[in-house]
Each structure stands twice: as C-alpha cells, then as structure tokens.
Amino acid sequence: MDFRKMIRVQIRIAGNKRVNGIPLSQAILEVCRQESILGATVTRCEFGYGEHDYKPHILRNMTDLPEIVEIVDEPTEIMNLLPKLKEVVEDNGLITLEEVLTV
C-alpha cells in the first residue's frame, strides 16, 4: 500500500466571525476553491474551552459556536495557500499545520 504525505491545516474560529459580510468559514472555503485546493470541511463544535468557554445550552445562539475548518492538500499547495489564509483569518482564529499520510 502506498502512502502520500499531505498537509492538514486546521483553523479554529468563532462561528459568529464575518469577513466582507459573509461567515469567516465560508470566506476560507472560497479562498480554497480559488486556489484549487483538494478538499476542505467546516465542522461546528458543540462545546469546548480555551480562550472562550463554550457550553451547550438550549437558549444559546447556535451561530457563535466554535468552528474548525480542515484543509488537506500537497505540501507545496498548502504553503502557497498559507499567506492567503492568514490574510482572511487575520487575528480571528488559530491556524495549525500537521503532516498526514493518505492512502
């Protein structure tokens, strides 16, 4: 079985952040599409802790829950994408990189 080395980018953001009138997660996906990135997924989290404490509550506004955007592609593609991601995300999120193997 052959494995390919890829890079996974994770961006943690607040779900209520917007850029040019659209949700930040959607803006990130648009940048990925423009750069022909292989794949990206947005996941909304139920609860967590860190800089902000998110707890599930029936009256909670669901738009402010944290989101994680995961992006996977070849290392060269990700390195070209990073400056554009930083420009969109600014100080509104945490961007991490991890080498992964795909089959």
Residue found under tokens 């990135």: 37
Better pLDDT: 56 or 44: 44
Measured CA to CA, the distance from residue 101 to residue 82 in angstroms comes to 20
pLDDT at 53: 61
With a CB cutoff of 8 Å and minimum separation 6, the contacts of 46 are 54, 56, 65
Better pLDDT: 49 or 69: 69
On whether the CB atoms of residues 27 and 88 are closer than 8 A, the answer is yes
The DSSP secondary-structure symbol of 101 reads: E
Task: Walk me through the domains of the chain, giving residue ranges and CATH numbers.
Answer: 4-102 (3.30.70.120)
Record the tokens describing residue 10, joined without a space. Answer: 């994770």
Record the tokens describing residue 52, joined without a space. Answer: 């902000």
pLDDT tens, residue by residue, 86-97: 999 999 999 999
